[in-house]
Amino acid sequence: MCVPSPPVLDAGFVSRPLPINRCPSTPRQITTAQPRRSSLVSFPSLAMASAKLSFKRMDSVAESMPDALRQSRYQMKRCFQRYVSRGRRLLKNQQLMEELDRSLDDELEKEKLVEGFLGYIICSTQEAVVLPPFVAFAVRMNPGIWEYVKVHADDLSVEGITPSEYLKFKDTLYDEKWAKDDNSLEVDFGALDLSTPRLTLPSSIGNGMQFVSKFMSSKLNGKPESMKPLLDYLLALNYRGEKLMVNDTIDTVNKLQTALLLAEVFVSGLPKFTPYLKFEQRFQEWGLEKGWGENAERCKETLNFLSEVLQAPDPINMEKFFSRVPSIFNIVVFSIHGYFGQEKVLGLPDTGGQVVYILDQVRSMEEELLQRIKLQGLHITPKILVLTRLIPDSKGTKCNVELEPVENTKYSHILRVPFKTEDGKDLRQWVSRFDIYPYLERYAQDASTKILDMLEGKPDLIIGNYTDGNLVASLMSSKLGVTQGTIAHALEKTKYEDSDVKWRELDQKYHFSCQFTADMFAMNTTDFIITSTYQEIAGSKEKPGQYEHHYAFTMPGLCRFATGINVFDPKFNIAAPGADQSVYFPFTQKQKRLTNLHPQIEELLYSKEDTDEHIGYLADRSKPIIFSMARLDKVKNITGLVEWYGQNKKVRDLVNLVVVAGLLNAAQSKDREEIDEINKMHNLIDKYQLKGQIRWIKAQTDRVRNGELYRYIADSKGAFVQPALYEAFGLTVIEAMNCGLPTFATNQGGPAEIIVDGVSGFHINPMNGREAGTKIADFFQKCKEDPSYWNKMSTAGLQRIYECYTWKIYATKVLNMGSMYGFWRTLNKEERVAKQRYMQMFYNLQYRNLVKTVPRVGEQPPRPAASTGAVAERNQIVARPRERKPQGRVQRMMTSLLGPKPPTYEQNGYR
């Protein structure tokens, strides 16, 4: 891959120098204030000392920790007494470090402890549960690698515990009665995957297809009996009943090998561009059908790949062969929530980058399908259907149109299927993505009927998007027996802090009990998972990834997931999307520039009057523009950027600020978070007196004009800023870089992999507005002194995109996944049965009962469930990090170092 290498990881968790990394922490809000300056002396030799430090190889934290505690017994007893002194509580990493800081007085002892193994353990602890006299630690030694230990505060004895035991500890803080109930629901999906091979190295996470290829190569060991599943797979290939590649006269592996040999010798004697039709009859005499290639040369290559696989399987030839197998012609893509359309939808509730992603995805997949079908020598018309919701009250969009061609495609369509009310009528209004669950099962049934009719048969590949689309894709895949892929886009559990353990407080508003359960169902039923970055799966050395957060977690009083999803599962794959090159192209391509749009853009940016479309004005047009475009919600952090700008005089002197986000009037919004952010934006503009330096433009839905807007700002020698608190990928980052804008993007999530910091753009820390503002100011000051620096960064950003982030690369990977995992699904059919049954039970007995608690549109919400136990820290959870407190001495040292009974699942046809 051309994305930056995954974080430097440990082969074990020891026998290596102590990492000089930032310890993980979870601040509550963005801080722009100057950090408190410590009066304590610094240790300039600390980093040098840590570089020389190494540990003996140990088997586990539980085995190595007792000895480390004995070496600092007095100090650690004081520390653990502080941990337990305030009774039961959940301590995050930062709190652990602060308590350690307060418990140690001697500076030399602090330095020694921080440099030692205990310092490393505490720095690697994500959280700890305090149940006096015990403290249970969740230690993350590497991405995907967790260990749980329990320490007695009085005698410092250490015991290794299982994830289940740790979660029961955690449950006690929130619902003690349920935690002590031996019959409380505990789900362990990992117990059913014992026969599934797993990756073992953190650095290999996300390379699932390569691993599957290697494993299949070892399983198909070249012996005829082991190759029988591959022959059966080839014999099953057909298009509407017409055989492809192999016909029924070849019923043994030996016959197949003989046919391949005869055919390869034959085509070797033909001119390489001889059309397949010229020798089709000869192939049929040997039991071979069309699909090998469009001409003699192509057929010879494909024949050779399969011959090599049958003779001595190896991963390279395995991948090459399956990339040529004609197994995918019809694809269904689910994206259900929000307003899915091609115009006038961006910026509407629950509608943003996912829509753009899918439309570009579909165009690229159709283009790749057409090329493959031609090279396979077939005359088949592929079809791609994007299934979304039909919304009769469509707000002036085409979301009330049942079938709509996808622009710039030949055979792809948007198919809209309505939600149904309980009396069978079409639901007319938009429904929030958090309230969508009562409609999805019926939607899956109705969509299945429509799809089978439109495609005149089953699709070959189903791809889900987000929780709702992934759930419906799982139901349909199970019903039709079709290969399935899923794309999360965003996993809400990671966006809302502690939303799992505090689900009761949030359920009436967000229905996370349904959402997290649906996420678990889809993750564990899908054949493969498409992600955009390594960080999306497994995070970084310091911070777990979106999926990793679902490894082991609990929802007290509801369900305990001893194993949710394992990031070492080979179903995880990284396929980074690109941007539509016809819309987002460099500002230097003057012949392609849309100069007819410049008067509109001029008015949008520079007119003096406030209107329904924009607020504020730019008094000094000579200054460059820093530009941001995103949904107006807490996680996207547009208000954070405005506050950084308002507080930084140097930045305000150098550049103007333009943001395109959401609505301007809170009364016009129905989105809960957007309303809060709209009000905050107005308050910030007034507080910092930004009029004259800021332009706030409401969300723009015209992609073509948006592309020219990026380029227009590049003409001003401006820059793009993506300030999100967390961003799974960052499509706007790709778009901006495609247009030649130097880009500053969050270091929390995917953009950290897209951009090589200081080379092709800049990382900014959204938790530290002062630092981010200084970085932006320094860039523009340098450009002012040396104008060539701006051009250098612009060119480097473009080069990065061309090497790594194009839709062509993406489509090739995804279609290869569909083909490879299709065979993997067949090869492991028997091993999958037990888990399929487990998932059916989980769906019927858990998910469907939770759906009953979600009111349909127009119904009164159910009364919130009362907790059966003590609930700690009942604060409303919002999608923002915790407040960053001033760092203590030890923390700074570590930072430097490191109704009627519903029908069953089967009765609805989902088997």
DSSP assignment letter at 190: G
Helix, strand, coil distribution of the chain in percent, nearest 5: 45, 15, 40
Q: How do beta strands 719-722 and 743-746 pair?
A: parallel
Can you name the residues that pair with 555 across neighbouring β-strands?
Answer: 559
Amino acid occupying residue 233: Y
CA-to-CA dists, residue 122 to 33, 130, 271, 410, angstroms = 27, 14, 68, 57
Residue 165: C-alpha distances to residues 177, 502, 561 (Å): 15, 19, 11
Structure tokens at 815: 């279609």
What is the average pLDDT score of the chain?
A: 87
For residue 59, the model assigns a pLDDT of 61
* pLDDT attached to residue 116: 82
**pLDDT bracket for residue 100 (50, 70, 90):** confident
pLDDT value of position 730: 84
Contact 626, 655 (CB under 8 A): yes
Using pLDDT thresholds of 50, 70 and 90, give the confidence band for residue 39.
very low
Residue 255 has pLDDT above 90, yes or no: yes
Flag whether pLDDT at 649 surpasses 60.
Answer: yes
Q: Concatenated DSSP letters for 772-841?
A: HHHHHHHHHHHHHH-THHHHHHHHHHHHHHHHH--HHHHHHHHHHHHHHHHHHHHHTHHHHHHHHHHHHH
Which of 35-44, 457-466, 493-502 has the least mean pLDDT? 35-44
**Percentage, residues of the chain above pLDDT 90:** 74
Percent of the chain scored above 70 by pLDDT?
A: 88
The residue ranking higher by pLDDT, 166 or 887, is 166
The region of weakest confidence among 105-114, 377-386, 477-486, 553-562 is 105-114
Q: Is the per-residue pLDDT at 127 higher than 90? A: yes
- 120 contacts 95 by C-beta, under 8 angstroms: no
164-179 pLDDT, tens digit each: 999 999 999 999 999 9
Locate 488 and state its tokens.
Answer: 């999360």
Per-position DSSP letters for 275-319, written without gaps between them = BGGGTHHHHHHTTB-S-S-SBHHHHHHHHHHHHHHHHS--HHHHH
**Position with higher pLDDT, 884 vs 62:** 62
CB 745 within 8 A of CB 754: yes
Q: Tokens 């506050």 label which residue?
A: 643
pTM of the model: 0.81
More confident residue, 830 or 799: 799
Task: Give 128 or 748, the one with higher predicted confidence.
Answer: 128
Centroid of chain to Cα 412 = 25
Q: Exposed e or buried b for every residue in 121-136, given b needs 16+ CB within 10 A?
A: bbbbbbbbbbbbebbb
Q: What is the pLDDT of residue 43?
A: 30
Amino acid at 791: N
The pLDDT value recorded for residue 103 is 83
Query: Which of the pair, 826 or 105, is modelled with greater confidence?
Result: 826
Question: So what's the pLDDT on residue 755?
Answer: 94
Residue 762 CA from chain centroid, whole number: 21
* pLDDT tens-digit series, residues 613-622: 999 999 999 9
Structural domains of the chain, ranges and CATH numbers in brackets: 221-312 (1.20.120.1230), 590-801 (3.40.50.2000)
pLDDT in tens, 522-566: 999 999 999 999 989 999 888 899 999 999 999 999 999 999 999
Mean pLDDT of the 45-73 span:
62
Q: Tokens standing for 717?
A: 């020698």
pLDDT tops 90 at residue 727: no
Q: Does position 156 have pLDDT exceeding 60, yes or no?
A: yes
State yes or no: pLDDT of 12 exceeds 60: no
Residue type, 55: F
Q: Do the Cβ atoms of 809 and 474 come closer than 8 Å?
A: no
Q: pLDDT digit string (tens) for 700-717?
A: 988 899 999 999 999 999
Residue pair 359/342 in contact (Cβ under 8 Å)? The answer is yes
What are the tens digits of pLDDT across the range 277-329?
Answer: 999 999 999 999 999 999 999 999 999 999 999 998 999 999 999 999 999 99
